[in-house]
Amino acid sequence: MSDLRDIQLSLPMQLLQAREAAMAHFRPMLRKHGLTEQQWRVIRVLANEPTLEVSELVARSLLLAPSLSRILSHLEAEGLVARSAHAGDQRRSLLTLTAAGQKKFRAVGPDSEALYEDIEARFGRKKLATLYQLLAELNEAIELAEETE
Amino acid sequence: MSDLRDIQLSLPMQLLQAREAAMAHFRPMLRKHGLTEQQWRVIRVLANEPTLEVSELVARSLLLAPSLSRILSHLEAEGLVARSAHAGDQRRSLLTLTAAGQKKFRAVGPDSEALYEDIEARFGRKKLATLYQLLAELNEAIELAEETE
DNA sequence: GGAATTAAATTAACATGTTAAGTATTCGTT
DNA sequence: AACGAATACTTAACATGTTAATTTAATTCC
């Protein structure tokens, strides 16, 4: 009944399927460490910076502000992340990994890396590099469209 | 502090970012039609088949069964989808698009297609085909890993 | 042919996604 | 200094994601 392209051939569905295939491996591992996928994203970003503002965390973790807000209060309650005042702007706050947070990062990191390397090895580093390049160009093309419309 | 790859270079993050870039265009359009992204996926799948079981819908829409269960009750309440009995297995039920559901599909379809074509045109059909191919191979590689482990 | 298993969906419980509204603070202007 | 606008988050409300538990019906096996 439809002239619309097969749903399986739509770009967002392909991207979703590929991501789910990968995450199906990561989620059980993270679960063993007591973390969700999103909590791990936050910890991972914070592990590479001494401190970050919420807005920076939003940008780097690809989480929406309301989600991050909830996740941060959770991670604070667990003692993995600490919040401190921003000198000069009371609206902002600075987030840091606590010692416990750093310990968690060091515990999960190798397990995470192992899964990545497994995927890389099976898929091929060369093809993976091509895929990254294409995805970056896709983002660029779409963002360019936003400026034009 | 970290030897872990930059989070921005991780495959799931790249896939997520690319998908979000695309969906940022689709969601407002769907919202005007009173649909969520996921509801539209269900309608789109059903538009191509006279009837489908829940398990088939799960597979083709890339939704988890609990999510689909809620979405279907919503779409039934809206009169877009109808449920009928499965002859021979009372556990299953058959889903069909109602006349209103088909009308909705015909209303949204062109808007959806226009956005796809815009992306295709900007990104390039050739590169898009390469991207599809790589994503399919990635899925294959990951699923192969599942059988082995 | 009846008890134990398996299978298909749904429900439950909690976390996140998404949009809109709200809050507090800062900035810009006069 | 003071007002309005903009900024940085947070809350709210509802939809979906995720895992586990339930429910109901079919299947298996003795």
Q: Does the nearest atom of strand D lie within 7 Å of A73's Cβ?
A: yes
pLDDT at A10: 86
The dihedral formed by the CA atoms of B136, B14, B115 and A1, expressed in degrees to the nearest 10: 30
Highest-pLDDT range among A140-144, B4-8, B111-115: B111-115
- pLDDT-derived band at A141 (thresholds 50, 70, 90) equals confident
Confidence band (pLDDT; 50, 70, 90) for A30? very high
CA dihedral B67, B72, B78, B79 (to 10 degrees): 170
Q: Out of A93-102, A121-130, B69-78, which region has the weakest mean confidence (pLDDT)?
A: A121-130
H-state helical runs in chain A: 11-32, 37-46, 54-61, 65-77, 99-123, 125-148
Q: Which residue has the higher pLDDT, B72 or B118?
A: B72
pLDDT at B142: 83
Rounded to 10 deg, the angle between the A65-77 and A37-46 helix axes is 80
DSSP output for A66-93: HHHHHHHHHHHHTTSEEEEEPTT-TT-E
Q: Is the CB of B148 under 7 A from strand D?
A: no
pTM for the model? 0.90
**pLDDT reported for residue A139:** 86
For residue A19, name the pLDDT band (cuts at 50, 70, 90).
very high
How many CB pairs below 8 A link A and B?
176
Task: Among B7, B24, B131, select the one facing A45 at the smallest CB separation.
Answer: B7
Which pLDDT tens digit goes with each residue over A49-67? 999 999 999 999 999 999 9
pLDDT at A5: 62
Among chain A residues 59-98, those with CB within 7 Å of any atom of strand C: 63-67, 70-71, 74, 88-91
Residue in the block written with tokens 């088939």: B56
Rounded to whole angstroms, the distance from the CA of residue A65 to the C1' of nucleotide C21 is 14
Which residues, at least 6 apart from A90, have a Cβ–Cβ distance to it below 8 Å?
Answer: none
Q: Dump pLDDT digits (tens) for B82-130.
A: 999 998 899 999 999 999 999 999 999 999 999 999 888 889 999 999 9
B24: pLDDT strictly greater than 90: yes
Nearest Cα of chain B lies from the Cα of A13 at a distance, in angstroms, of: 8
Question: What percent of chain B has a predicted confidence (pLDDT) above 70?
Answer: 91
Using a CB-CB distance cutoff of 8 angstroms, which residues of chain B are in contact with residue A4? 44, 47, 109, 112-113
Q: How far apart are CA A22 and CA B39, in angstroms?
A: 24
Do A21 and B128 lie within an 8 Å CB cutoff? no
Q: Which residues pair with A85 in a beta bridge?
A: A93
Considering the four listed CATH numbers 1.10.10.10, 3.30.2320.50, 1.10.10.350, 1.10.3720.10, the one that applies to the domain covering A7-148 is 1.10.10.10
Which residue's CA is nearest to the C1' of nucleotide C11? B66
Strand D closer than 7 Å to the CB of B30?
no
Residue of B nearest to A60 (CA): B8
For residue A12, say whether its CB is under 7 Å from any atom of strand C. no
Q: Is the pLDDT of residue A105 over 80?
A: yes
Strand C: which positions are within 7 A of a protein CB? 7-13, 15-20, 24-27
- Cβ neighbours of A118 in B, within 8 Å: 145
pLDDT at A2 over 80: no
Confidence of residue A130 (pLDDT cuts 50, 70, 90): very high
Residues A101 and A75 sit within 8 Å (Cβ to Cβ): yes
At A3 the pLDDT is 58
Average of per-residue pLDDT values in chain B: 91
Flag if B60 and A7 touch (Cβ within 8 Å): yes
Query: What is the structure's pLDDT at A53?
Result: 96
In chain B, where are the structural domains located? Answer: 7-148
Q: Select from B3, B5, B7 the residue whose CB has the most chain A CBs within 10 Å, as the one to mutate to test that interface.
A: B7
**pLDDT value of position A1:** 53
pLDDT band at residue A127 using 50, 70 and 90 as cut-offs? very high
pLDDT score at A8 = 64
Mean pLDDT of chain A: 91
